[in-house]
Amino acid sequence: MKKRIILVISTLILLAAVPVMGAEQLKLMLDWFPNVDHLPIYLAQESGYFKDQGLTVEIITPSETSDGLKLAAAGQVDLAVSYQPQTIIAADQGLDLKAVAPLVIHPLTTLLFLDKTIKTPADLSGKNIGYTVPGLMDVLLHAFANLNGVKNYTPINVGFTILPALVSGKVDAVMGPFKTYETVVMKQQGYTARFFELENNGIPDYEELIFVAGSKTLAKKEAAIHKFTKAIQLAMAQLETDPTTALKLYLKAVPEADANVETAAFELTRPYFAGQNSHDPAKWQAFADFALTYGLIKNHVDTAGLIHTWHE
C-alpha cells in the first residue's frame, strides 16, 4: 500500500513538472531586460492565454539588443522582440526574417535633454549630442539634424550611460532614450527630462517594438506563431479594460522590477500598445525609403516581403 501511495505521489510530481501534454513550445527572446514594454507578453503568460492556445512559451533575456534578430534568423529562437528600424536594417543585410505582429505601434525613441533653455531642435547647434546604439541612433541623429537645422554638432557614443553623460556635461542631449521609460527613471532621481519626438520632427512614424520570426521557423511553426499572436491580442484587450490587474500580474511575473518606475512607465506606455494583429504596410515602406535616403540601409527594401499577413 505504501509503495502504491509513493508511486501515485511521484507520478503527480512528474506530471506537474512537465509542460501540458500536447502543448507546443515556443522560445521568445526579448530585446532587452524585462520591462513594462513587455507587459502584454507576461500578462498573456500569467492570465493563461498562451496555455489556452495550446502553447508553452519560454521567455529569454538577451545579452545584447541585436541578439534576438540574429538568433531568430538562424532558427535558434522561434520569436524575438525587436524594432522596425533594426528589422529593416537586418533585412538589407541579408537576414531572412518576417515581422509577425506589432507590440508598440509608434516611436518611443526621442532626442532627450535636461537643459531647459533648449526650445527648438536648432538650439542644439554647436553642441555635443550623444547617441545610444551605433549604426542606428547616430544615423537617426544625422537625419534629425539635417531635417531640423542642427548645425556643427559633435556626435558622441554614450551607450546606455544616458543620465551620467547628461549630468556630467559630456553631452547636451542624447538620441535614443524612450519618452516612456528613461524620463521616469530620471524623474525618480530628481531630474526633469525634456525631449523632441522624432515623428513630430521629420522622422517617419514607425512601429517601435514588434515580434519577429525567421522565415524558415515561420513556415514550420506558422499555426503556433499565429496562436501566439492571438494570445498577445487577448492580453492587449485585458490591459485596455483592466489595467490595474494587468500591471499587478506583470509585477508578479517580474518581481525584480522597480514597482514605482514600472507603474509610472506603464501609464505612459499604455496608449502605444498595439490594438491589432497586423502591421501598417505604408508605414513600413515609408520608413524603409527614408532609411535608404539617410544611409541606414544600402539597398531598396520592399517591406511587403518583410511583413507576414495573418488571415483570420
Mark whether 187 and 211 lie in a shared domain: no
Nearest to 302 by CA among 289, 2, 260: 289
pLDDT, residue 296, reads 92
Q: pLDDT 10s digit of each residue in the chain, 312 long?
A: 434 433 433 443 444 444 455 789 999 999 999 999 999 999 999 999 999 999 999 999 988 777 899 999 999 999 999 999 999 999 999 999 999 999 999 999 999 999 999 999 999 999 999 999 998 999 999 999 999 999 999 999 999 999 999 999 999 999 999 999 999 999 999 999 999 999 999 999 999 999 999 999 999 999 999 999 999 999 999 999 999 999 999 999 999 999 999 999 999 999 999 988 899 999 999 999 999 999 999 999 999 999 999 986
In a domain, 68, yes or no: yes
Mark whether 96 and 148 lie in a shared domain: no
Mark whether 214 and 85 lie in a shared domain: yes
Q: Which DSSP string corresponds to the chain?
A: -HHHHHHHHHHHHHHHHSPPTTPEEEEEE-SSS--GGGHHHHHHHHTTHHHHTTEEEEEE--SSTTHHHHHHHTTSSSEEEE-HHHHHHHHHTT--EEEEEEEE-S--EEEEE--TT--SGGGGTTSEEEESSTTTHHHHHHHHHHHHT--S-EEEE-TT-HHHHHHTTS-SEEEEEETTTHHHHHHHTT---EEEEGGGTTSPP--SEEEEEEHHHHHHSHHHHHHHHHHHHHHHHHHHH-HHHHHHHHHHH-TTS-HHHHHHHHHHHGGGB-SSSS--HHHHHHHHHHHHHTTS-SS---GGGTBPPP--
pLDDT in tens, 186-223: 999 999 999 999 999 999 999 999 999 999 999 999 99
Mark whether 95 and 222 lie in a shared domain: yes
Mark whether 87 and 218 lie in a shared domain: yes
Mark whether 177 and 217 lie in a shared domain: no
In a domain, 76, yes or no: yes
pLDDT in tens, 228-261: 999 999 999 999 999 999 999 999 999 999 999 9
In a domain, 31, yes or no: yes
Mark whether 181 and 69 lie in a shared domain: no
Nearest to 279 by CA among 39, 45, 83: 83
In a domain, 9, yes or no: no
In a domain, 1, yes or no: no
In a domain, 286, yes or no: yes
Mark whether 213 and 294 lie in a shared domain: yes
Mark whether 74 and 120 lie in a shared domain: no
How many structural domains comprise the chain? 2
Mark whether 77 and 224 lie in a shared domain: yes
Mark whether 93 and 133 lie in a shared domain: no
Domain assignment of residue 184, given as a range:
109-200
- Select from 148, 167, 200 the last residue of a domain: 200
In a domain, 4, yes or no: no
Mark whether 36 and 58 lie in a shared domain: yes
CATH number for position 169: 3.40.190.10
- Select from 181, 200, 219 the last residue of a domain: 200
- Select from 150, 183, 200 the last residue of a domain: 200
In a domain, 10, yes or no: no
